[in-house]
Amino acid sequence: MKILVVGGAGYIGSHMVKQLAKAGNDVITLDNLSYGYRDAVKYGEFVEGDLGDDSVLDSIFRSGDIDAVMHFAGFIQVGESVIKPAMYYHNNVVNTFTLLDAMLRHDIKNFIFSSTAAIFGEPDYTPIDEKHNKHPINPYGHSKLMIEQVLDDYDTAYGLRSTCLRYFNAAGADPDGELGERHVPETHLIPLILQAASGRREDIKVFGDDYATDDGTCVRDYIHINDLCDAHSLALQKMMKEDKSARYNLGNGKGFSVKQVIDVAKEVSGNDFKVSIEPRRAGDPAVLVADATLAKEELNWQPQFADLKDIVKTAWDWETGFLAKQ
């Protein structure tokens, strides 16, 4: 297949490009490099450009042989979305419309969309399945849910098939050591902890230890990046075979507290580091754990990195390999 990966120079996109290319697909990455890295696109063709730019989209789609589009080019920082909602609605909603319009113009009808656990807001129950109410509590979550709703209508009216994959906490790195997480600024827990473990950061700040959880810190469901990518590949195959849209929650179904993640990182790295307790970060639900039964049943998806230690180990290899040399 020939697949356009929008945002293929970013963390999740770059791993996806590698997996698709290794599986024999023809891959084109479109990325404006606002957050991505040119050197993270190690496979296929690269086009520098914006998903909100009609002319660049038309020139890519004009070739006429693109089978599907995967969209990883969303802005992802919850806190920033609260302060700069216009930026989030512009990129995550308006620019996505431009992409979808261009797909329709060129009769491309298969779309894989990076959605998020943030569409569920504060959970009514855990683990969270696909039927759970959707009531986002920040502009980031709203922007992703808006597109999910638009995609329902585009399916009905235009026959544009989509699979929305709601990631819980994407983590880890390419086990070959070629790719990994490189956000600037970094806000995610595991890379920040590992920076503390390697001495690139003075300490790790725990945002709140007074939540209603066993040890008082927030619980999250960490899912390895390659397992996420596997789910995309399986979802694309199923969607194209059955000509049907779908939505899946993707996680390991196991929750780990911030303190537990810190303990695992100390064990994996063999290093001790300073941990400080800070006030809660605004907008953090206490517990977010996925019920990924549907993805397992319908996609035949089985995460290979079910153990948090294995996930953290791949991220530690990236921290002490590539990142240490930067």
Q: Which residues in the 14-53 window bind ligand UFG by CB under 6 A? A: none
Check 140, 154, 211, 222 and give the catalytic one: 140
Dist. CA 19–CA 174, nearest whole Å: 10
Nearest to 162, CA basis, from 180, 149, 143: 149
Residue number of the CB atom closest to ligand UFG: 218
> Cβ closer to ligand UFG: 4 or 193?
193
169 binds ligand UFG (CB under 6 A): yes
Taking contact as CB under 6 A, which single stretch among the options 25-33, 152-160, 187-195, 247-255 is the one that binds ligand UFG?
187-195
Question: Which token pair is 95?
Answer: 């620019």
76 binds ligand UFG (CB under 6 A): yes
188 binds ligand UFG (CB under 6 A): yes
Candidate residues 57, 164, 196, 258; the one interacting with ligand UFG per rule CB under 6 A: 258
158 in active site: no
Dist. CA 285–CA 263, nearest whole Å: 21
288 binds ligand UFG (CB under 6 A): yes
DSSP string, 300-320: ----S--SHHHHHHHHHHHHH
265 binds ligand UFG (CB under 6 A): no
Rounded to 5 degrees, what are φ and ψ at 209?
Answer: -125, 30
DSSP string, 4-61: EEETTTSHHHHHHHHHHHHTT-EEEEEE--SSS-GGG--SSEEEE--TT-HHHHHHHH
Binding residues vs ligand UFG (CB under 6 A):
76, 78, 116-118, 140, 169, 187-189, 192, 205-207, 218, 220, 258, 281, 284, 288
Which residues are marked as active site?
140
